[in-house]
A = this chain, B = another copy of it.
Amino acid sequence: MQLGLIGLGRMGGNMRDRLRAAGHEVVGFDPRPEVTDVPSLAELAAALEAPRVVWVMVPSGDPTRSTVRSLAEILEPGDLVIDGGNSRYTDDGPNAELLSAKGIGYVDCGVSGGIWGKDNGYGLMAGGAQEHIDLAMPIFDALRPEGPREEGFAHAGPVGAGHFSKMVHNGIEYGLMQAYAEGFELMEAAPLVENVPAVIQAWSRGTVVRSWLLDLLVNALNEDPHLTELEGYVDDSGEGRWTIEEAITHAVPLPVISAALFARFASRQDESPAMKAVAALRNQFGGHAVKKSAGPAGAPGDHAGPSSGSGSTH
């Protein structure tokens, strides 16, 4: 079938390739002339037969919202817009309402799979009315991995349920990654395991912890066994934050996912103001040595063990 696809970046470009390989006719739009198929959204609409299905794959937030607003002007009753980006689910209701006023349908679709999805297929979680899901099903089927549909696609619920599911998926992802990372650090810290990458690779089959993320960790350690070339600096794209905020709304305890998010925040700090305050307090009550920012860092020695020789009692 025909699909309009807006946004031909890392994800959108790959999706265009995968859809075309599956025999679909994709008309792509991107502001970069070197990758776009049409010069404007209007010409994208003109190139598609009604009822049009247009997939939006641009950064979440303002870029997606303004694209939806443009489509509300350009598309016609009976057409369908799918937001496949990482939008917060709270954007979906307003988007759907805006389009619905013009008779245009709306589906939100969480998409997982990263740069590997082009070949492996993408896991999809969609929210919207059944008729809109049905209209786009050939596209979903081409994007999702081969195998039973239900193992790579879900109609999660009404508008918003797709992005909500993707948000939770990413929250879980934070926790999974942090769990592996903590295990890696502990094995690196203890002298007993001589070949940490080999142990992690041996978890690839048969073990309880085998997973695709584990396979990726094996890949990374093959390239750099002690990850010496990387900084321990980790960005976050917002989905983890929204997950915690949603948990707070529903009074759901998420100790693991929040710990994973906070570890990312901390990874981006050169200095922790909180730990300065703790250092200041220890200095105040116990005369414990503090490290002054100015001057040489000194030789703190082996800090794995508690500083039991300090003779301090407070």
Contact = CB atoms under 8 A, between A and B. Distances in A.
B230 A279 contact: yes
Interface in A167-187: 168-187
Contacts of A273: 181, 184-185, 188-189, 227, 232
Interface residues of A, number: 171
16 contacts: A59-B310, A85-B313, A86-B312, A112-B209, A113-B207, A165-B193, A170-B208, A175-B176, A207-B212, A232-B279, A234-B279, A235-B310, A237-B308, A248-B261, A251-B305, A264-B275
B234 A156 contact: no
A254 B311 CA distance: 27
Most buried by B among A144, A208, A212, A249: A208
A232 B271 contact: yes
Contacts of A258: 244, 255, 258, 262
Number of copies: 4
Interface in A85-107: 85-86, 89
Contacts of A154: 195, 198-199, 201-202
